[in-house]
Amino acid sequence: MDGNRRWARVHGKEIIFGHAFAVDHVVEPLVDEAINIGISCLTFWAWSTENWDRSKIEVDAIMTLFRKLFIRHIQTLHKKGARVVTIGKIEAFPEDIQQKIAESVELTKNNTRITVVFALNYGGRDEIVRAINNAYSNAKFQMTNDKFTEEDIEKNLDTHGLPLADLIIRPGGERRLSGFLLWQSAYAELYFTDVLFPDFSPEELQKAVADFQSRERRYGK
């Protein structure tokens, strides 16, 4: 979800205005379009493990936006039939936000129209390290031939039970993954655009999906 801060500056607004606009005007229309297209799982990387290094004012303001997201907007997603899931180290957030996240997951757990994943305090390297540690410390874990297998790691990832990534879209002009879904993106198609996230409309999603559909996926063959 890159470009919120730059978008705010372009519009002569405070930085937080870009984040707020994304939450209030971009996320739900993209979910609606994903449902229309037939996408079964859509992930938003809303907060990375590195984002805590931003100014306290910005961090506090974004925490307030998360409270708004998990109080107001989750109810709307629930009505749309969306199942809400989170990945990342949720325990790093204030307790009230953790509680709202848990309530949102519980409220929507039986919805089947689409799965909407929010990556919160998420980093791909951190996820893999935690998966290895979890596998190693699990009392029921038995290594195959005294070695970890891909299955051992995968079943301890935050995304266990979710589909692997088919398409990763990065708005905002950067041409890198920056640690997003490192394990899950092995055969994902990548789509980069200069469009800032607050301007990433359902039409932009259609463009990305059309580009994806035009590609021949070889899976290493």
* Phi/psi at 24 (5° precision): -85, -25
Question: Do residues 67 and 101 touch, judged by C-beta distance below 8 A?
Answer: no
Alpha carbon of residue 67 to chain centroid: 17
Alpha carbons 6 and 197: distance in angstroms, whole number? 10
Residue among 24, 32, 51, 111 flagged as catalytic:
51
Question: Half-sphere exposure of 212 toward its Cβ, with a 13 Å CA cutoff?
Answer: 19
User: At which residue do the structure tokens 């307030």 appear?
Assistant: 64
Crossing angle of the two packed helices 202-213 and 27-37, in degrees rounded to 10: 40
Is 134 assigned a catalytic role? no
163 burial type by CB count under 10 A (0-12 exposed, 13-18 middle, 19+ buried): exposed
Is 166 assigned a catalytic role? no
Tokens of 68: 């708004």
Which residues are catalytic, by number? 2, 51
